[in-house]
Structure 1
Amino acid sequence: MRVRQRFATALRDGRLMRAWAAPAWLAATLSDATSAAAQPAPGIAPLNYFLHAAGPAAAPTMYLGWMLTALAVAVSSLVAVLLFAAIVRRRPGADPATQHADSGGVAWIYIGTGVSSVVLFMALAYVLMTLETVAAPARQPNLTITVTAYDWWWKVSYSDAPDPARNFVTANEIHIPVGEPVKIELQSADVVHAFWVPQLAGKTQTIPGQINQQWIEADRPGTYRGQCSQFCGAQHAHMAFEVVAQSAQDFDAWRRAQGQAAQPVSGADATAGQKLFGERCAGCHTVRGTDALGTQAPDLTHLDSRRLLAAGALTNTPGHQLDWIRHAQRIKPDSLMPSIALSAADAAALSAYLSTLH
């Protein structure tokens, strides 16, 4: 923890990491591969995360990544060719007169140093131009979303200062309108994490005690995978989320639905399930419109409207909901969600209640 705190103190500008999103693909791919080995993989293929941009905050960094990759390949190839030439030139049995004819070698060093300096300066200029391009959107965002990183999930808060009734909290799923820049305020509740949606923007650290900002914008409707890309503990690989880009009409409809409280339940099973939820789950989870007001775990008011469970570890089906409740520590060891033993009757009742949270 002390090392993490020192690292957090050293990183005071989260935006600086945005331009380097593409070269960091290997860590995320390996993390997803580890995740896939342990659980079903409901997300998009890892290669799609960074090879394709879907917004103006991501395209410049994608092009920068390709440019830096091409530059690295070109330099490595040139060095390999020169090294091979030197080995051939110095091979045993070669003509001694040829081996010692190196009077022009220093000139080549001067030429190589000069060319390298120019190329590196041009690359630096391109990097700085890219940083400037992605620093701020072309127009002021009308929507601000606060994302708080936890071990190991994401709290997503929508706020509307003129109308507090439109404020609500969800988890692990962010909805945005297509073609509109969205301001993301990033916080951390525990350690350093990193918010990264490669197809929409570069990465930005979430640091305890500090609010960092970034912006995202989607050019077209779709679901875009996000991932924590800063190692944050045992379940770092299972700390994913999704950004759902929708038309303005669909986004407004989703926002109105999410702002509503949970509907009253009816039926013996659902009523029994709500009572069981209040006894075993309400200390950590919130369901708006009920007595469940916990704040240490995801808000479940509209649980069934989400596509994934457990920060991307499972698809959101009734069977996976019960599997998560019963075997949370098997699915995500060391997470704060305990495994809960349920009888057949309790499982049926709880499943009936959860099915009303849509």
Structure 2
Amino acid sequence: MRLSVQLGIASTLPACTGPLSTLDPSGPAGASIATLWWVMLTGASVLFVLVITLFLLVIWRPGWGAGVSPGRWLVLGGLVLPGIVLIPLVAYALIAGESLLPSPGHTPPRIEAVARQWTWTFHYPDHGGVETRNVLHMPAGTPIDILVSSQDVIHAFWIPRFAGKIDAVPGHVNRLRIQADRPGRYAGQCNEFCGLGHAGMRFDVVVDRPEEFSAALARAAAAEGSEKK
């Protein structure tokens, strides 16, 4: 039995890392989401242990709790017990969710992410309007506003290690503020079923050092233009 548990844990741990893992964050928003997940898991585990403890007491000690009226069991077991765990979890989730919203009064650099079956095109209005396809370039350590839209059906923009997802809706622009902590290569994808090619609608995210970002973007845009020719 112990070996089976150990093997089960070992088989699930690799899923906590990797290019599409929300539990291996690389930005402040991603870290907040990962922390929220761990807090929710802890709360759910506590609630599970409390319920299983009551269940085992009933099995191992027949007649235990017989002196408590059914109405009191409903109140204590159905309202008070879950409320002790769930109310703090809901409060924490609301606070964490509020912290993910873009703060007013500060306008960071913008990148436009335009979805179309089954590619992503990224425009950089603050860098002469150059564009890249299926490769998003951004500087490290700098908040970036991603302006997400679609040219056909509903898609969803998602970089799991940076932030939560946001829908790409035709005729509408949604804003997602993200920040990458360190340079590197990451992965993003469409997270809304958008047709037969949905599974392949992925993109790379290249995070450059701030002082190297403009040059790296210029090289990528030039290479993009050469491929179109």
SS at match of 1:226: strand
Q: Deviations over 1:296-315 (max 9, x none)?
A: xxxx4154xxxxxxxxxxxx
SS at match of 2:186: strand
Larger Rg: 1
- The one of 60, 85, 96 aligned to 1:119: 85
Q: How does 1:319-330 map to 2 (within 5 A)?
A: none
Question: Does the 8 Å CA contact 1:193/1:232 hold for their aligned counterparts?
Answer: yes
- The one of 191, 195, 198 aligned to 1:229: 191
Query: CA 1:81/1:68 → structure 2, altered by over 3 Å: closer, same or farther?
Result: same
Partner of 1:78: 50
Partner of 1:337: none
Question: Does the 8 Å CA contact 2:132/2:221 hold for their aligned counterparts?
Answer: no
Partner of 1:244: 206
Matched, 1:148 2:114: yes
Misfit runs of 4+, over 4 Å: none
SS at match of 2:57: helix
Matched, 1:102 2:66: yes
Partner of 2:161: 199
Partner of 1:219: 181
Equivalent residue letter for 1:206? A
Greater CA drift, 151-160 or 103-112: 103-112
SS at match of 1:63: helix
Question: Does the 8 Å CA contact 1:157/1:168 hold for their aligned counterparts?
Answer: yes
Structure 1 CA distance, aligned partners of 2:156 and 2:137? 19
Partner of 2:139: 177
Aligned Cα RMSD in Å? 2.7
SS at match of 2:21: helix
Q: CA deviation at 1:248?
A: 1.5
Q: How does 1:280-291 map to 2 (within 5 A)?
A: none
Q: CA deviation at 1:124?
A: 1.5
Structure 1 CA distance, aligned partners of 2:53 and 2:198? 41
Q: CA deviation at 1:259?
A: 4.9
Question: Does the 8 Å CA contact 1:139/1:181 hold for their aligned counterparts?
Answer: no
Structure 2 CA distance, aligned partners of 1:111 and 1:202? 36
Query: CA 1:211/1:138 → structure 2, altered by over 3 Å: closer, same or farther?
Result: closer
Equivalent residue letter for 1:301? G
Question: Does the 8 Å CA contact 1:168/1:258 hold for their aligned counterparts?
Answer: no
Question: Does the 8 Å CA contact 2:43/2:86 hold for their aligned counterparts?
Answer: no
User: With CA pairs under 8 Å and 6+ residues apart, which has the higher RCO, 1 or 2?
Assistant: 2
Structure 2 CA distance, aligned partners of 1:84 and 1:302? 69
Question: Does the 8 Å CA contact 2:114/2:151 hold for their aligned counterparts?
Answer: yes
Equivalent residue letter for 2:75? Y
Question: Does the 8 Å CA contact 1:137/1:181 hold for their aligned counterparts?
Answer: no
Q: CA deviation at 1:81?
A: 3.3
Question: Does the 8 Å CA contact 2:185/2:206 hold for their aligned counterparts?
Answer: yes
Equivalent residue letter for 1:73? S
Q: CA deviation at 1:187?
A: 0.4
SS at match of 2:29: coil
The TM-score, its normalising length taken from structure 2, stands at 0.81
Q: How does 1:161-172 map to 2 (within 5 A)?
A: 166-172=128-134
Question: Does the 8 Å CA contact 2:183/2:207 hold for their aligned counterparts?
Answer: yes
Matched, 1:187 2:111: no
Return 5+ residue gaps in structure 1 as ranges. Answer: 1-28, 30-43, 91-97, 263-299, 304-353
Partner of 2:38: 66
- The one of 301, 311, 319 aligned to 2:225: 301
- What is the aligned residue count? 213
Query: CA 1:250/1:137 → structure 2, altered by over 3 Å: closer, same or farther?
Result: farther
More strand by share: 2
SS at match of 1:191: coil
